[in-house]
Structure 1
Amino acid sequence: MFHAASSLVPSSRSRSPSPRPSARRDAFFDNAKYLAIVLVAVGHSWEPLKGGSRVLQAAYMFVYTFHMPAFIVVSGFFSRSFDGSPRRLKRLITGVAVPYVVFETAYPIFRRVVDHNPAQEISLLDPWYLTWFLCALFIWRLTAPVWKLVRHPLPLALGVAMLAALTPGLGDDLDLQRVLQFLPYFVLGLSLRPEHFRLVRRRSVRIAAVPVFALALTFAYWAVPRMNASWLYHRDAAQELGAPWWTGPVMQLALFGSSLLLTACFFSWVPGRTMWFTALGAGTLYGYLLHGFLIKTADYRGWFDHPALHRPLGEIAVSVAVAVAVTLLCTPPVRRVFRFAIEPKMEWAFKRDAAELARERETRRETRRVEDGKVRA
């Protein structure tokens, strides 16, 4: 998925994508991650602008229906190899848990300084703004072996999400509502195989995606004054949104179906070949975690309040500017600067694996035997 350092094999008609480490990466998945992170960032920039524009609100609802589900499905797909081994756990800690702690601390401090808001607290139990995804990914990946063990994982995950949607007592700790309500997309990714991605990338699906997207945008335009967009965030139970309890499970099923359809259409349009932005797919975690500082700076400073930005040309200009900004944040120079926080090595924090140490000793002994043989010769 979304894991910044995932190594994938190249995609082609004769060779299947695989989550196993390889010297090369799969262009399709890197393209999908890059395009998804651009949609995420652009969607965040629309949040303070959409109030006076029904068209922008419709586009916002449309994008929010599938951009995070697509991200999460790919995350699940590349979590299939997680088995709880020491090596995998180490990667989970350094690639997910540590960035969560760093940015869950950095964002509140940033708000105190830039927004002059001393009331903003630092709490590792209450994810703020973008960090909920890291918290959720940590929990989802830890549970991956369980979902691979049970007989019907997706219906079970959907049942959990439906129950969460009618349980306001879950509270805000670790953003459990989002963790549980987005869970089915992760479990779906765990259940997918490479051939499923090939199915949605057929030409017939790409053509069919055009009217589907058009109908979805039309429906979103109709739904703007009739539907609470907060349903798309998956962070509240039905009662917290002022709806009857039974609407929670119903909306979960409806949103899962519509999100899955639009996600499939999105994947059908993702190029499978190497593009100019393919290499940026390896840096999407950087773009995700860092673009929030830009969005929040503009928000705190009141830049989004400028009247010109609330006109069509202004909205387009903001969208393009944010897309360019998040693209730059995924580039190698930015990754080198922030690798200490997002992909730390942290070898000092972990014990050496016994099997790895044994292999190293055997390699050294074999090297000495070869060198002794050369000396005698």
Structure 2
Amino acid sequence: MAAGGRPRVRVPLWDNARFIAVTLVVVGHGIQRQMAESDVALVIYLAIYTFHMPAFAIISGYFSKSAPPGERQMVKVITDILLPYFIMETIWTVVKLLQGTGEVNPTTPSWTLWFLLALGIFRLILPYLALLKWPLLLAIAVSVGVGYFANVDNTLSLSRAFGILPFFVLGWRLREWGLVDRWRFATTSLWWARSVAIALFAALITVLAVYADLWRAIDLRFWLFYDESYSDLGGQWWSGFVRLALIALAVLFSAAFFVLVPRSTTAITKLGQGTMYVYLLHSFVLYPLRESTFLRDHSSVPWIIATIVGCVLLSVVLASKPVRRVFRPLVEPRPTWLFRSPPSHLSGESRIDPTGSRRDGVQRHRPE
């Protein structure tokens, strides 16, 4: 129930967007090895990475609160972000140590875990940014500026967190501006907006395909990670303008993505409530394939299509209720023993995950 006893109204747009965005994450990771031998895979990969994590950050920002955190919010940072991070990082550390390829260093996140730390950083600094007159401009300046400092690296995910900070702040500002609500309730002129969005993606794919050799030569994919300094990327003093252009493109194509996302309830809507399970667990399934030469050796168009279909099915399975029930202790731990006065909301599945996804039908025990 919302304040005043009114029931909260689910917005299918956000659940649909979450699931599609996280599925694009899985697809991007699935075809990564294939793009070494295939321009088709490279084009798909670059198209996805142009906007998918910025879109995820926008969604997370939209559902974040700028008020100073209370006790409940601080507990959720521990249970929803820090504990899952240390659990998953410990598992990955063991895996890499068994392979003889890793070391014990919990300050450097493995693979997908950087986003959990980024969310924690965003939650920490948003109340301070909200006090400022131009928080979005400052976030853009931080993102562009951090690339000039080689000493800001992947430790605690700082480089990538600061790199995508503008998208998180933009999501928070979108809620204040009410632009999403205008789109949700719009009853006319939808066709032209979606036509423009389709045309934009068609143009993006065309440009990526025509200049595929150039994108390989300049390692464009690494620029889209927002996690390395310009010097490491071989850039010069003007590299900040490149990142600024990439931020603008990410905003443009994130907007086009949201325009194309269905606004009504669909077959994938409920799956949008399990995005963190998909995000954190899919890497364990894909890891054996990525570490072998199988995907690299099977990079023809039929195999790329098969990989994409398999990644979509994997996303569906990992977002299902049975999987969430089995892996809840890892993804959403509820260690009541850890707190001096265990909050009542720590029993069972979380109502809201770190991206702001609210779940239906979650029961809570309330003290009499």
TM-score by length of 1: 0.83
Deviations 1:154-173 (A, max 9, x none): 00001111111111121331
Aligned length: 336
> Could you say what the CA RMSD is over the residues aligned between the two structures, in angstroms?
2.4
1:195 equivalent in structure 2 = 178
Match of 2:287 among 280, 293, 296: 296
The answer on 1:281 being equivalent to 2:275 is no
Relative to 1, partners in 2 of residues 1:30 and 1:323: Cα closer, same or farther, differing over 3 Å? Answer: same
More displaced stretch, 41-50 vs 52-61: 52-61
1:145 equivalent in structure 2 = 127
Match of 1:235 among 207, 213, 227: 227
1:216 equivalent in structure 2 = 204
1:69 equivalent in structure 2 = 54
The answer on 1:45 being equivalent to 2:30 is yes
- SS of equivalent to 2:237: coil
2:241 equivalent in structure 1 = 250
Relative to 1, partners in 2 of residues 1:185 and 1:223: Cα closer, same or farther, differing over 3 Å? Answer: farther
One-letter code aligned to 2:212:
V
Match of 2:161 among 179, 182, 193: 179
One-letter code aligned to 1:107:
W
Gaps spanning 5+ residues in structure 1: where?
A: 1-6, 10-17, 357-362, 365-377
- SS of equivalent to 1:253: helix
1:165 equivalent in structure 2 = 147
- SS of equivalent to 1:169: coil
How far apart are residue 243 of structure 1 and its match? 1.4
Match of 1:314 among 285, 291, 303: 303
Separation (CA, whole Å) in 2 of partners of 1:143 and 1:352: 26
- SS of equivalent to 1:80: coil
How far apart are residue 140 of structure 1 and its match? 0.6
How far apart are residue 66 of structure 1 and its match? 0.5
Match of 1:109 among 88, 94, 116: 94
Separation (CA, whole Å) in 1 of partners of 2:311 and 2:336: 35
Identity value in percent: 33
Equivalent pair of 2:317/2:323 in contact (CA under 8 Å): yes
Equivalent pair of 1:200/1:265 in contact (CA under 8 Å): no
Relative to 1, partners in 2 of residues 1:68 and 1:271: Cα closer, same or farther, differing over 3 Å? Answer: same
Separation (CA, whole Å) in 1 of partners of 2:64 and 2:93: 30
Deviations 1:284-342 (A, max 9, x none): 00000000011111122433244xx2110111001101110121001110101111111
The answer on 1:30 being equivalent to 2:18 is no
Match of 1:128 among 88, 92, 110: 110
More displaced stretch, 188-197 vs 135-144: 188-197
2:262 equivalent in structure 1 = 271
How far apart are residue 223 of structure 1 and its match? 3.9
Relative to 1, partners in 2 of residues 1:22 and 1:281: Cα closer, same or farther, differing over 3 Å? Answer: farther
- SS of equivalent to 1:150: coil
Deviations 1:68-118 (A, max 9, x none): 0110000011112653111001111101111111111112222344xxx22
Runs of 4+ aligned structure 1 residues displaced above 4 Å come to 20-24, 199-202
2:42 equivalent in structure 1 = 57
- SS of equivalent to 2:223: helix
Relative to 1, partners in 2 of residues 1:238 and 1:333: Cα closer, same or farther, differing over 3 Å? Answer: same
- SS of equivalent to 1:345: coil
- Structure index of larger Rg: 1
Match of 2:341 among 346, 352, 372: 352
How far apart are residue 200 of structure 1 and its match? 5.0
Relative to 1, partners in 2 of residues 1:348 and 1:142: Cα closer, same or farther, differing over 3 Å? Answer: same
- SS of equivalent to 2:68: coil
Equivalent pair of 2:32/2:41 in contact (CA under 8 Å): no
- SS of equivalent to 2:133: coil
Match of 2:73 among 84, 88, 111: 88
Relative to 1, partners in 2 of residues 1:162 and 1:21: Cα closer, same or farther, differing over 3 Å? Answer: farther
Separation (CA, whole Å) in 2 of partners of 1:223 and 1:96: 40
More displaced stretch, 229-238 vs 338-347: 338-347
How far apart are residue 199 of structure 1 and its match? 4.5
Separation (CA, whole Å) in 2 of partners of 1:181 and 1:87: 28
User: Which has more helix, going by share of residues?
Assistant: 1
Equivalent pair of 1:200/1:267 in contact (CA under 8 Å): no
Match of 2:323 among 323, 334, 338: 334
Equivalent pair of 1:104/1:122 in contact (CA under 8 Å): no
Equivalent pair of 2:96/2:103 in contact (CA under 8 Å): no
